[in-house]
Chains A and B, each alone.
Chain A
Amino acid sequence: MSEELLRLEHLSIDYKVKGGYLSAVNDVNLSVNRGEILAVVGESGCGKSTIAHSIMNLLPGGNEVVTGKIIFKGKDLRTCTRREMEAIRGKDIGMIFQNPLDSLNPVYKTGKQVEEAILLDGIDRLQAWNKVLDLYRDVKMPDAEVRANSFPHELSGGMRQRVMIAMMLSRNPELLIADEPTTALDVTIEAQILEIIKDLKKTYDTAIMLITHNFGLVAEVADKIAVMYAGEVIEYGDVFEIFEKPLHPYTKLLMQALPRRTKKEGRLQTIDGNVPKFMDKKPCCRFANRCPFATERCSVEFPGETIVSGEHMVRCFLHETEGKEAAV
């Protein structure tokens, strides 16, 4: 069994808004092991990025209420001081975002920006610069030396994301959080970046938390998958198992909504209705209003986590009797 690196325990995040608290994340339990890719998937607004930002303690601050534990290597990150957190960011947990242009400084050469990260570890300049070039080659940047001396605007989208990956790699973090890393890129470039991510896992044994709405990425690289809906993880398990035998009605419908075949084989499955906003924590299944199998119980009781087999977890009354209550 591989070593557990990160564990979220009963993590809930509420935002204070006019008229109460908006529940963005509710009772999330997840763990990421070394050398494993966990994909957190869900549609927009389901709270996946909020979780990613909360791990790094990057939430806007001021109007959110966080409860629960974020345990990284046995230590609760929520109890860390600001200085301790600064030491962890980048060094222990790296992060790459959707739009690399927002993350790069337009007035410095990209190589210098990567070097800056390396210098934090107290390495001398010449060595650092050589390491930059090595990293550029690691991420398969064409003409590494030329690109290291280029400004961000001179690079293509794919190259910019490579710079971000090189920067993240420079400090060799144990956990990487990738928030929609390929959404802004063309499919051909996306395929190249995915290759790099797969290599990373293999060469450095990095644990990766991949936040995405794209089931293609999940099918391509993930080991484990956590499906989120309206702030809750409603199903979790091995990627092969979930794609083959999804249990939660939402996961099932979503899988059938993917355009896998051609129109000759019929229309796509759709999910009627909208995601409601959850202002108060009324006990209920959050998918109840759109679920074709919903019963009265679903709108008055909060479904617990049921372990169906091995690690496969589902939060739905339909499967309650099939497994045992999760012991978290």
Chain B
Amino acid sequence: MSAPMIEMRGVEKYFRVSRGLFRSSNEQVKAVDHITLSVEEGEIVGLVGESGSGKTTLARVLLSLTKMTGGEAIIDGVNLGHASKADMDRLHREIAVVFQDPASNLNPRETVESSIMRPMIIHGVPRSKAKEKAKEVLEMVKMDLQYLDSFPHQLSGGQLQRIAIARALALSPKIMILDEPTSALDVSVQAQILNLLLDLQEQLHLTYIIITHDLNVIKYISDKIAVMYLGRLVEFGPADVVGNTPAHPYTKGLMDAAPILDPRDRGKEKEIMKGDPGSLINLQAGCRFYARCRYATPECKEKDPDDLILAPGHQVACVHPLDINRA
């Protein structure tokens, strides 16, 4: 078996809390805490969690937009902690990103063509070649070449998201990080973008990390689902297992909160989680989900649970994982 595309071992990102201009404090925000997971080439991993759970921070670490404060991350053979400049340059070409709101990350004064060409120019691709490639990727996202000369304000939300995806494809990446790719879109357009992403993934054998809070989208598109809660990866495993018979009480609560898409499912038993996710500042010892967990025992208050391997490729950070057969 080949090495995984992305491998994280105990990745941490702590931020120091500032208490005014000249006063520092020892308080830390553990935005991403001790995350261990590996992603194989060609996998679609859905990353879910409530706001503030650290999904985006983790993505920023992968994109090396922010430096991690602990642990090790190896992406396509490059160790983020101590990589040469040449390796990092290669990595920057191999990982592309698509953000939530396409209107705000395309330059309103640049044409579609020059927006798509920009990453290539930055990475030293000659202009003529970049122009060719821009046409090629635009066709890949199934848009007419007439749009090359359009400006963002002339396009609809779905078209803008296609342009953002085309730009991400410009440097022929291996990994794509998609941060809420369909949250700003209507249902019918969302379906178009999801289909497009699946087509591209099959054609190019890309690896996707898809961050979203839409659980129905995640269940539809992912091979594996990673669930984060207050900076910890609480569960990671195959999509059908995590989606249907989760082992972590938090995953269960989250999946039960997902809106049903058929009124005939109304009668189904649901466990609605109480309370808010809480804050990352001044975390208590013990499991972070302790206060909201209906299965918590005194033991949970004592110790932050380690990752438990339930089955190959299915891990959970819980002292008392739910019995899978019971659910």
A interface with B by C-beta (< 8 Å): 43-44, 142, 156, 158-159, 186-192, 195, 213-220, 222, 239-240, 243-244, 253-254, 257-263, 267-271, 274
Contact = CB atoms under 8 A, between A and B. Distances in A.
Nearest to A216: B259
Interface stretch (B123-131, B144-152, B265-273): B265-273
B21 interface: no
6 contacts: A188-B272, A189-B50, A216-B260, A244-B264, A259-B194, A259-B261
Interface residues of B, number: 42
6 shortest A-B CB distances, which residue pairs? A216-B259, A259-B220, A268-B191, A43-B186, A257-B191, A191-B257
A188 B259 CA distance: 10
A2 to B, nearest CB: 19
Nearest to B51: A186
A186 B220 contact: no
Nearest to A223: B263
B247 interface: no
A254 B193 CA distance: 15
Where chain A touches its partner, the secondary structure class is: helix
B253 interface: yes
B253 A214 contact: no
Given A188-B254, A259-B216, A270-B192, A215 B187 contact: yes
B156 interface: yes
Contacts of B274: 192
Residue from the set A188, A222, A243, A257 with the largest chain B CB neighbour count within 10 Å: A188
Given A186-B51, A186-B277, 13 more contacts: A187-B258, A188-B272, A189-B276, A191-B272, A216-B260, A217-B259, A218-B263, A219-B260, A220-B263, A240-B264, A243-B262, A261-B220, A262-B239
Nearest to A250: B188
A159 B186 CA distance: 27
Given A260-B216, A262-B219, A44 B259 contact: no
B78 interface: no
A191 B175 CA distance: 34
A156 B276 contact: yes
Contacts of A156: 276
Given A188-B254, A270-B195, A43 B259 contact: no
Contacts of B266: 219-220
B257 to A, nearest CB: 4
A222 to B, nearest CB: 8
B206 to A, nearest CB: 14
Residue from the set B51, B213, B220, B277 with the largest chain A CB neighbour count within 10 Å: B220
A258 B259 CA distance: 12
Nearest to B158: A274
Contact of A258 (B216, B253, B254): B216
A145 B213 CA distance: 32
